[in-house]
Chain A
Amino acid sequence: DGGITQSPKYLFRKEGQNVTLSCEQNLNHDAMYWYRQDPGQGLRLIYYSQIVNDFQKGDIAEGYSVSREKKESFPLTVTSAQKNPTAFYLCASNEDGGGSYTFGSGTRLTVV
């Protein structure tokens, strides 16, 4: 079955460390997204990519970085510059502009 795989499901990071969250899709979708979900704030867009080797900042990109070297993969790095990284991170993809998203199951990151 096609879908989005996010790993790991839970991640613990020490302050000052960078950490990379994986997102892989086998849906042949062009566009991929990273959202951060915090209680009471809904989903906020971190980065998105419409095509391989291109990506755009979302609303809260500071302290994050991404790459899109392959169509199937869109990893997110949470850097030490992110002031409040503890959150639930969701990866999504869609086929064309405006189409409905398919979401991954998320990664819960906790800074200890």
Chain B
Amino acid sequence: AQSVSQHNHHVILSEAASLELGCNYSYGGTVNLFWYVQYPGQHLQLLLKYFSGDPLVKGIKGFEAEFIKSKFSFNLRKPSVQWSDTAEYFCAVSTSGTYKYIFGTGTRLKVLA
């Protein structure tokens, strides 16, 4: 069965620290990859997505993610986090031609001012 793993469940960083959140999936075919963010009290919104092409994708608010096909990974990065990045982050995968996503369990990020 397809699955998505986010190994970091809780991350605490100080402002200006660098961030990398891991995401691995299990599926051998073509995939579409997403990172969503849920700020406190707000609804889920898209951070970035990868469908094809350049494996390094840039999203909103300075976030980027790199698709490494050989490692089945799509890690999220940000060089310098801000207090406002405190949120829960979800990785999701959909297989080409299907509608539904499979979500990871989420990573709660807390950034200390």
Is the C-beta of A63 less than 8 angstroms from some C-beta in chain B?
no
**With A97-B97, A98-B51 as given contacts, are A103 and B45 in contact (CB-CB < 8 Å)?**
yes
> Is chain B's interface secondary structure helix, strand, loop, or mixed overall?
loop
Q: Which among B44, B95, B100, B105 is the interface contact of A90 at CB below 8 angstroms?
A: B44
**Interface size class of chain B, counting residues whose CB lies under 8 Å from the partner chain:** 20 to 34
Q: Do A33 and B44 have beta carbons less than 8 Å apart?
A: no
- Which has the most chain A C-beta neighbours within 10 Å: B6, B36, B96? B36
Q: Which among A42, A43, A48 is the interface contact of B99 at CB below 8 angstroms?
A: A48
Chain A positions within 8 Å of B99 at CB level: 31, 33, 48, 50, 94, 97-98
A-B pair number, CB within 8 angstroms: 59
Chain B residue with minimal CB distance to A32? B99
- Which has the most chain B C-beta neighbours within 10 Å: A41, A42, A43, A98? A98
Is the C-beta of B83 less than 8 angstroms from some C-beta in chain A?
no
Contact with A along B79-113 (1 / 0, CB 8 A): 00000000000101011111111111110000000
Chain B residue with minimal CB distance to A30? B99
Q: Do A40 and B9 have beta carbons less than 8 Å apart?
A: yes
A residues near B, CB below 8 A?
31, 33, 35, 40-45, 48, 50, 58, 90, 92, 94, 97-101, 103-106
